[in-house]
């Protein structure tokens, strides 16, 4: 390579410099990510497949998991949960972002207040909501005061997952809203000014300008929100332990139970492997749907 540089020194030199610069810019983060994320995951996968055991690698752990109704049930619960929670959170975050992107008085304070729940450790916000949703708790007292029927919330297999969704959305919506507001700040105001001259109403402006130009931040929020919802488990662990009747047994709770209560390292590793594969598949599909070719540069 070095002697080939003689013919067109400036260009090749810059190219080589670019390669080296890239290595320098990337190395620290890449090292951190590989050592602290990918390597342990690879090891978990090896454990899951039984590599290194005297019996040799096998699918035994996976066969065991798929024969266990607790595990397959948790996959179904997670699928249902994801289909509900992600659209709800993103719609709410988007609505709030539109609302709080205006020049309202004290808008910074409002934004901060809506964002605040993410600053409370989840272990604690789960406790707060658990008290609020007690059958004899303040939410039911409020319902009673308004003349509504009392609700069982977390104690009913039909309402528990919905209750978890409310809690998780309380934590997440303000967080995702923040990223959407950042995206909206990037939309040049001229577009709106032009639309106003054309007589477009607020609804049209949202559909024709805001939404299309928000594609990149929206993709980011969609992917990141989906991933984070796949990995939720603190509220479940604190409030329902997966019950009543398995109705809130999300797959992360299942992994946690296997790893820390049952001490089934291999089973937990196999479940983790499955989860990572599912998330990779889902996120790949989301990227394909949301992004155009040029977004990958």
Partner 1 sequence: MLAALYSMMPLIWAVASGLRPGAEIFRYLSPLTIWSLLPRHPTLANLHVLWSGPFARAMANSIFVAGTTVVVGLLLCSTAAFALAVLRFPGKNAVFAIMVVSFLIPFDSIAVPLSSLFRGFHLDNTYTGLVLPGLGNGLAVFLLRQFFLGIPGVLSEAAMVDGLGWWGIYTRIYLPLSRPALIGAGLILFVFQWQAYLWPLLIAPAPNVHVVAIAIANFAGEFQVDYGEMFAATSFAALVPMLIMLFFQRYFAASLATSGSKE
Partner 2 sequence: MPLNRRQFVAGIGLASTGALVPAAGQAAELTLNFLFSQPPSTWDAVIAAFEKANPGIRIARQNVPFDALNAAVQSRIGQKDSSIDVFGCDEPRVPTFSHRGYLVDLSGMRPAFEKSVSSAAIEAVSFKGKIWSFPLWTSTQVLFYNKDLLAKAGLPEPPLDVNKRMTWEQVLEAGAKAQKAGAKWGLGFDQVDRYYQLQALYESRGAGPGLTGPDLLTPAITTPKWIETTEWYGRLFSSGLAPRGIPPEQMPPLFAAGQVAYFYGGPWQMGLFFKTAGLNFGMAAAPYFADGKPCTPTDSWSMAVNPYSNNREAALKFASFMTLDDVGALASTQKMPLPPANKTAFVEYLKRIEAEGGAVTKGYGTLVRYELANTAVHRPRTIGWVDFEQIMNKSFSDVRNGADATNTLKAADKQLRIVFSRL
Q: Which two tokens stand for residue 199?
A: 């007589």
Q: Binder to partner 1 among 8, 43, 148, 285 (CB under 8 A)? A: 43
Q: Which does 88 bind (CB under 5 to 8 A by kind): partner 2, partner 1, none?
A: none
Instruction: List the x/- string, 219-238, binding to partner 1 by CB under 8 A.
Output: xx--xx--x--xx-xx----
Report how far apart the first and last C-alpha atoms of the chain are (Å, whole number).
Answer: 27
Residue among 5 and 244 whose Cβ is closer to partner 2:
244
CB of 244 vs partner 2, minimal distance in Å: 4
CB of 68 vs partner 2, minimal distance in Å: 6
Q: Binder to partner 1 among 178, 210, 240, 257 (CB under 8 A)? A: 178
Size of the site for partner 1 (CB under 8 A): 99
Q: What is the DSSP string of 217-230?
A: HHHHHHHHHHHHHH
Q: Binder to partner 1 among 140, 163, 229, 257 (CB under 8 A)? A: 140
Distance of CA 278 to the CA centre of its chain: 13
Q: Find out whether 100 and 181 touch, Cβ atoms under 8 Å.
A: yes
Q: Which does 75 bind (CB under 5 to 8 A by kind): partner 1, partner 2, none?
A: none
Site for partner 1 in 21-40 (CB under 8 A): 21-23, 25-26, 28-34, 36-38, 40
Q: Which two tokens stand for residue 125?
A: 């916000």
Positive or negative torsion for Cα 151, 153, 155, 161: positive
Instruction: Examine residue 295 and tell whether it contacts partner 1 (CB under 8 A).
Output: yes
- What gap in Å lies between CA 151 and CA 170, rounded to an integer? 19
CB of 175 vs partner 2, minimal distance in Å: 25
Using CB under 8 A as the criterion, which residues of the chain lie in contact with partner 2 when the complex forms?
A: 64, 67-70, 130-131, 133-136, 152-157, 239, 241-245, 257, 259-265, 267
Segment interacting with partner 1, rule: CB under 8 A, options 2-10, 17-25, 69-77, 79-87: 17-25
Q: Which two tokens stand for residue 263?
A: 């001490």
Q: What is the DSSP string of 140-190?
A: HHHHHHTTPPP--GGGSTTTHHHHHHHHHHHHHHHHHHHHHHHHHTTS-HH
Q: Which does 153 bind (CB under 5 to 8 A by kind): partner 1, partner 2, none?
A: partner 2
Q: Binder to partner 1 among 75, 94, 96, 236 (CB under 8 A)? A: 96
Give the residue carrying structure tokens 């209750």.
Answer: 163
Residue among 144 and 204 whose Cβ is closer to partner 1:
144
Site for partner 1 in 180-219 (CB under 8 A): 181-182, 185-189, 216-217, 219
Q: Which residue pairs from 114-120 have beta carbons closer than 8 angstroms and sit at least 24 positions apart in sequence?
A: 114/173, 114/174, 114/177, 115/174, 115/175, 115/177, 115/178, 116/174, 117/170, 117/171, 117/174, 118/171, 118/172, 118/174, 118/175, 120/171
Residue among 84 and 115 whose Cβ is closer to partner 1:
115
């Amino acid at each position: 390579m070095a002697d080939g540089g003689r013919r067109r020194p400036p260009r090749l030199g810059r190219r080589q410099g670019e390669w080296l610069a890239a290595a320098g810019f990337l190395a620290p983060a890449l090292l951190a990510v590989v050592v602290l994320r990918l390597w342990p995951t690879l090891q978990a996968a090896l454990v899951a497949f039984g590599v290194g055991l005297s019996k040799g690698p096998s699918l035994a752990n996976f066969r065991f998991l798929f024969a266990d109704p607790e595990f397959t049930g948790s996959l179904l619960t997670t699928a249902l949960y994801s289909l509900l929670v992600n659209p709800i959170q993103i719609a709410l975050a988007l609505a709030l972002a539109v609302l709080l992107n205006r020049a309202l008085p004290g808008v910074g304070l409002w934004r901060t207040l809506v964002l605040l729940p993410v600053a409370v450790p989840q272990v604690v916000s789960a406790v707060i909501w658990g008290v609020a949703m007690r059958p004899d708790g303040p939410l039911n007292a409020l319902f009673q005061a308004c003349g509504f029927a009392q609700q069982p919330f977390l104690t009913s297999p039909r309402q528990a997952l919905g209750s978890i969704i409310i809690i998780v959305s309380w934590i997440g919506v303000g967080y995702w809203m923040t990223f959407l507001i950042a995206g909206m700040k990037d939309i040049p105001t001229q577009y709106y000014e032009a639309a106003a001259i054309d007589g477009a109403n607020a609804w049209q402006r949202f559909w024709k300008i805001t939404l299309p130009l928000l594609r990149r931040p929206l993709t980011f929020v969609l992917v990141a929100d989906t991933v984070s919802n796949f990995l939720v488990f603190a509220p479940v662990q604190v409030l329902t332990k997966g019950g009543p009747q398995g109705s809130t047994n999300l797959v992360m709770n299942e992994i946690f139970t296997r790893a820390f209560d049952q001490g089934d390292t291999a089973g937990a590793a196999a479940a983790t492997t499955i989860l990572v594969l599912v998330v990779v598949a889902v996120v790949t599909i989301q990227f394909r749907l949301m992004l155009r070719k040029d977004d990958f540069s």
